[in-house]
Structures are given as structure tokens and as C-alpha cells.
């Protein structure tokens, strides 16, 4: 997908900048033509000479360079590319992108471009988790930027947590996937694949109360389901997002129904039918407590409490079995710790859905609550495995896959 593609690679000023040289090498080996812009902080970590040796082209650093401006104006530089990659995206660059600042070459190009922007953040974990950065990420996403990572792990500064730049090979895959789509925002607007279609998405966990202050839940963040709702809305669909309790904001342009329990989620979905597509991305609690205590269970009243569980309704299976009201495309998820593909295939049959998106949530996987996902798309006759991608890209690819199913009538 990258053969002959023009990539503008902006290298920000962070220790991860050394990995961007490897990304540059990989992009070139994949056949892309890469132009490099180094921020002034980026020049402190890698030199223009090393970047230019790898890109085979001159490296741009200065907004007010008369020679550069005479050769290729900065607006032209931002428009010439098919894709802009910012790696590493530092907290500072992200803030500039989110607020539309244009006080150096990199930020000016990012404001002037009309091409997709892929951001690979890298920063200290505290900076990444700071409320200001959280706002900037959401703002940049709403403005249409794509994110890959950051990953989690130990960092150069000694901290541990999210903030490491995604590995170059994964950024390369994400770039190839973006190139796989209709890249021109203008032409995307002309032919939105889900225009006129209604899509219901469930997302997040459910909370099953035990007493007025306690509940049973799971680690779902709602990121994947929310990203799918966003991607479906961007593809032109009328989206109803039925969400359990999450701490992330809803995407713009979707109808949000907030629920707590599985029973409430089922009722909200049923009320929202009919639809063309149902995507069950929620991590619904399989069981609820049979008897919810009206008062807080006291710690030392009668020794340890014994909770009796009963099964929750299976929303996906019920929707798939809803006869005339069944949406033409019903998609489920299978988060498994063992026997991923076999369990997911069994779920496809048992729940009578058209697709199962299977992901491994076993030990060592950072899928639950994380920003990336590795999924397998299982239909009745085949399994398609996708590389590690950000949840946003998984959402986009999935929405495209579903649009094709709908238009081909082929499930
Ligand atoms: O929990 P399980 O692995 O069976 O979930 C598989 C799929 O079924 C997921 O898409 C999930 O959203 C859906 N599901 C549901 N209602 C449940 C349990 C699971 O819709 N009670």
C-alpha cells in the first residue's frame, strides 16, 4: 500500500526520535517517498544529516527559510504528501495540533495540510495522563487525527506506564492501513459508505449492583466500542451508542444512551431497533446478583456474605434471534484468554451472528483498557487476521468491512 506513496514525516523532540529513523528506513523499504521535517527540539535528538541520508532528500526545519520557500512553499509541502506522520508526537506538538497553533514549520504544516494525519505519541506517563493531554487527544481525534499508541512499558525517564512510542513496524502497518482507505477527505464526503444506514453499537462494561454502594464489573474502558461508533458516524451512519459506565467522552454526532446494567442495555437496544447493523462491543457482565440488597451489606453482621448469581440476558444472541427485527448485519466480539479462534468460531454459531471480532485478552495483553488491539475477523467461511492497530484504526477497518457486507449482501 505504500509503494510510491508520499509521506511527510514530522519528527518531534523526544528520546523516541531515534526510533523514527528506523520508521523512515521501513517506509523507504516499503516503497514510500518520504520527506522529513524536524522540529527544533527534534534536531536535538537526531540530526538533519542522518534523516536526510535515510530519506534521500533534503530535510526541512525552518519556517522562514528563503531557499526552502523558493523551492517548495510550506503550504505546498503540507499538501504534497498523501499522509502526514508525526513520530514522536510530543506533548507540546499535540497541544499545538489540538489548539491550531502555527509558530514553527511542523505546526504550520499540520494546520495547513488537507491530508490524513497519523500521530504516534511519546511522552512521560504523567504528561500522557495529564488532564490537559487527555483533552488534547480528544480534541485532535474530533478534528480527524488518527492515533497509534502510545504503548505501555518502562520509559527512558524511569517511569512505567503508557507513553512509549509504538514500535516503527506497527506505525508502518497503521500507515499502510490508512493508505488503504479513501484518502481524500473531500471525496470521502462525497460517497459515505453508511449514508442512510442505522447502526446500533453497545460499548463499555455493565455494572451489576450488589447493594446500594457495590457492584460487579469488568475492566472494559469502552474505547473500542466508542471508536466503532465514531467511525460509523464518520462513515455517514445514524448511530445509536448504548454505553455502560465509562470515563471517556462520547464521540460527536452519535445518539448516546447511558445504561448501567445488562438488562438496561438490552432494553435500550431493543427500543432502538430496527437497524441495519448491530455491533455488540460491550463487555456485558454474564451474571448479576439475584437479590440486590436495599441497604449496604454490613461487614461483620453474619460473617462473609454469600452472593447468588443468575445469568444476564445475552444481548447479542437475543438481537440475532429477533426474527423480522434482526438487523441484516449482526457483529459480536469475543474477548478470550484461551483458545481464541476456536472459542470465537463457536460463539459465531451459538449466537447466530454474521461476524465475530476476536481478540486475545490473556495475560500480557494490554487490550482491556489499552489503546491498541490485535483482532481476527471471523465469518462463517473465513478468518482474517489484522496486525496490531490502534483501536481507532480497527474501528475504521471494521466499519469498512461491514459496509462491504451490507452493499454486497454477502455475509
Ligand atoms: O461474554 P461473551 O464472550 O459471550 O461475549 C461475546 C459477545 O456477546 C460480545 O460481543 C458481547 O458484547 C456480547 N454479549 C452480549 N450480552 C451478554 C454477553 C455477551 O451482548 N450478556
Q: According to the model, what pLDDT value does residue 299 have?
A: 85
pLDDT digits 0-9 by tens, 242-276: 999 998 878 878 899 999 999 999 999 999 999 99
Consecutive H or E run containing 60: strand 59-60
Q: Is 333 near ligand 1, meaning CB less than 6 Å away?
A: yes
Q: Is 316 near ligand 1, meaning CB less than 6 Å away?
A: yes
Q: According to the model, what pLDDT value does residue 372 have?
A: 79
Q: Do 85 and 23 contact (CB within 8 A), yes or no?
A: yes
Q: According to the model, what pLDDT value does residue 173 have?
A: 86
Centre of ligand 1 to C-alpha 357, Å, is: 11
Nearest to 371 by CA among 195, 145, 201, 166: 166
pLDDT band at residue 76 using 50, 70 and 90 as cut-offs: confident
Q: According to the model, what pLDDT value does residue 189 have?
A: 43
Q: Do 216 and 285 contact (CB within 8 A), yes or no?
A: yes
pLDDT digits 0-9 by tens, 193-252: 999 999 999 999 999 999 999 999 998 999 999 999 999 998 999 999 999 999 887 887
pLDDT band at residue 366 using 50, 70 and 90 as cut-offs: low
Nearest to 105 by CA among 129, 134, 127, 84: 84
All domains of the chain in start order, with CATH: 6-179 (3.40.50.1950), 198-408 (3.40.50.10300)
Centre of ligand 1 to C-alpha 202, Å, is: 10
Q: According to the model, what pLDDT value does residue 248 have?
A: 82
Q: Do 265 and 225 contact (CB within 8 A), yes or no?
A: no
**Ranges of H-type helices in 113-151:** 125-129, 131-142
Q: According to the model, what pLDDT value does residue 111 have?
A: 95
Nearest to 36 by CA among 45, 44, 49: 49
Consecutive H or E run containing 176: helix 168-179
Percent of the chain with pLDDT over 70: 93
Q: Is 314 near ligand 1, meaning CB less than 6 Å away?
A: yes
d(CA 48, CA 266): 57
Name the one residue in this structure whose C-alpha cell is 531515534: 18
Q: Is 312 near ligand 1, meaning CB less than 6 Å away?
A: yes
pTM of the predicted protein model: 0.66
**Ligand 1, atom 4, residue with closest C-alpha:** 334
Nearest to 133 by CA among 103, 108, 99, 167: 99
Give yes or no for residue 387 having a pLDDT over 60: yes
Give yes or no for residue 121 having a pLDDT over 90: yes
Q: According to the model, what pLDDT value does residue 411 have?
A: 53
Burial class (CB in 10 A: 0-12, 13-18, 19+), 189: exposed
Q: Which of 267, 282, 311, 327 to mutate to test the pocket of ligand 1 (most atoms within 8 A of CB)?
A: 282
Cell of 69: 520557500
Question: Quick count: other Cβ atoms within 10 Å of Cβ 51?
Answer: 27
Q: Is 280 near ligand 1, meaning CB less than 6 Å away?
A: yes
What's the number of CA atoms in the CB half-sphere (13 Å) around residue 276? 20
pLDDT band at residue 183 using 50, 70 and 90 as cut-offs: very low
pLDDT band at residue 154 using 50, 70 and 90 as cut-offs: confident
pLDDT band at residue 347 using 50, 70 and 90 as cut-offs: very high
Q: Is 348 near ligand 1, meaning CB less than 6 Å away?
A: no
Looking at ligand 1, which atom is closest to the CA of residue 285? 21
Q: According to the model, what pLDDT value does residue 123 have?
A: 95
Q: Is 201 near ligand 1, meaning CB less than 6 Å away?
A: no
pLDDT digits 0-9 by tens, 37-57: 999 999 999 999 999 999 999
Give yes or no for residue 61 having a pLDDT over 50: yes
Consecutive H or E run containing 148: none
Centre of ligand 1 to C-alpha 314, Å, is: 6
pLDDT band at residue 60 using 50, 70 and 90 as cut-offs: very high
What's the number of CA atoms in the CB half-sphere (13 Å) around residue 244? 30
Nearest to 311 by CA among 288, 328, 291, 281: 288
Q: Residues with catalytic annotation? A: 157
Nearest to 88 by CA among 127, 53, 123, 62: 123
Centre of ligand 1 to C-alpha 182, Å, is: 32
Mean pLDDT of 77-81: 88
Q: According to the model, what pLDDT value does residue 185 have?
A: 43
- Higher per-residue confidence, 301 vs 338: 338
Centre of ligand 1 to C-alpha 241, Å, is: 16
Q: According to the model, what pLDDT value does residue 16 have?
A: 95
Nearest to 87 by CA among 110, 66, 63: 110
pLDDT band at residue 157 using 50, 70 and 90 as cut-offs: confident
What does pLDDT average to over the chain? Answer: 90
Amino acid at each position: 500500500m505504500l509503494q510510491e506513496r508520499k509521506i511527510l514525516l514530522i519528527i518531534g523532540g523526544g528520546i523516541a526520535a531515534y526510533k523514527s529513523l528506523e520508521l523512515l528506513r521501513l517506509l523507504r523499504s516499503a516503497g514510500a517517498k518520504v520527506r522529513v521535517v524536524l522540529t527544533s527540539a527534534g534536531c536535538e535528538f537526531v540530526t538533519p544529516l542522518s534523516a536526510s541520508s535515510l530519506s534521500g532528500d533534503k530535510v526541512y526545519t525552518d519556517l522562514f527559510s528563503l531557499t526552502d520557500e523558493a523551492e517548495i512553499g510550506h503550504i505546498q509541502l503540507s499538501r504534497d504528501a498523501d499522509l502526514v506522520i508525526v513520530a514522536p508526537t510530543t506533548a507540546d506538538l499535540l497541544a499545538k495540533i489540538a489548539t491550531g497553533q502555527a509558530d514553527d514549520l511542523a505546526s504550520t504544516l499540520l494546520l495547513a495540510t488537507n491530508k490524513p494525519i497519523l500521530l504516534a505519541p511519546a511522552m512521560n506517563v504523567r504528561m500522557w495522563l495529564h488532564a490537559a493531554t487527555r483533552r488534547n487527544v480528544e480534541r485532535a481525534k474530533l478534528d480527524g487525527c488518527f492515533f497509534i499508541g502510545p504503548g505501555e512499558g518502562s520509559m527512558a525517564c524511569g517511569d512505567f506506564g503508557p507513553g512509549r512510542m509504538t514500535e516503527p513496524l506497527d506505525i508502518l502497518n497503521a500507515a499502510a492501513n490508512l493508505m488503504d482507505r479513501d484518502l481524500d477527505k473531500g471525496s470521502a464526503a462525497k460517497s459515505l459508505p453508511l449514508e442512510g444506514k442505522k447502526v446500533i453499537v453497545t460499548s463499555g462494561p455493565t455494572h451489576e449492583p450488589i447493594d446500594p454502594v457495590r457492584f460487579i464489573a469488568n475492566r472494559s474502558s469502552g474505547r473500542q466500542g466508542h471508536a466503532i461508533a465514531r467511525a460509523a458516524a464518520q462513515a455517514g451512519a445514524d448511530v445509536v451508542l448504548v454505553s455502560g459506565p465509562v470515563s471517556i467522552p462520547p464521540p460527536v454526532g452519535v445518539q448516546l444512551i447511558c445504561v448501567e446494567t445488562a438488562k438496561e442495555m438490552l432494553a435500550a437496544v431493543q427500543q432502538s431497533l430496527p437497524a441495519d447493523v448491530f455491533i455488540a462491543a460491550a463487555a456485558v457482565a454474564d451474571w448479576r446478583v439475584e437479590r440486590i440488597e436495599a441497604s449496604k451489606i454490613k461487614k461483620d453482621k453474619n460473617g462473609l456474605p454469600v452472593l447468588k448469581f443468575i445469568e444476564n440476558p445475552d444481548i447479542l444472541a437475543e438481537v440475532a434471534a429477533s426474527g423480522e427485527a434482526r438487523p441484516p448485519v449482526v457483529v459480536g466480539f469475543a474477548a478470550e484468554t484461551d483458545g481464541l479462534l476456536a472459542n470465537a468460531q463457536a460463539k459465531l454459531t451459538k449466537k447466530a451472528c454474521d461476524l465475530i471480532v476476536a481478540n486475545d485478552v490473556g495475560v500480557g495483553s494490554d487490550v482491556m483498557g489499552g489503546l491498541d488491539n490485535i483482532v481476527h475477523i471471523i465469518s462463517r467461511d473465513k478468518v482474517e487476521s489484522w496486525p496490531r492497530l490502534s483501536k481507532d484504526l480497527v474501528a475504521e477497518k471494521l466499519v469498512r468491512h461491514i459496509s462491504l457486507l451490507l452493499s454486497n449482501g454477502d455475509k
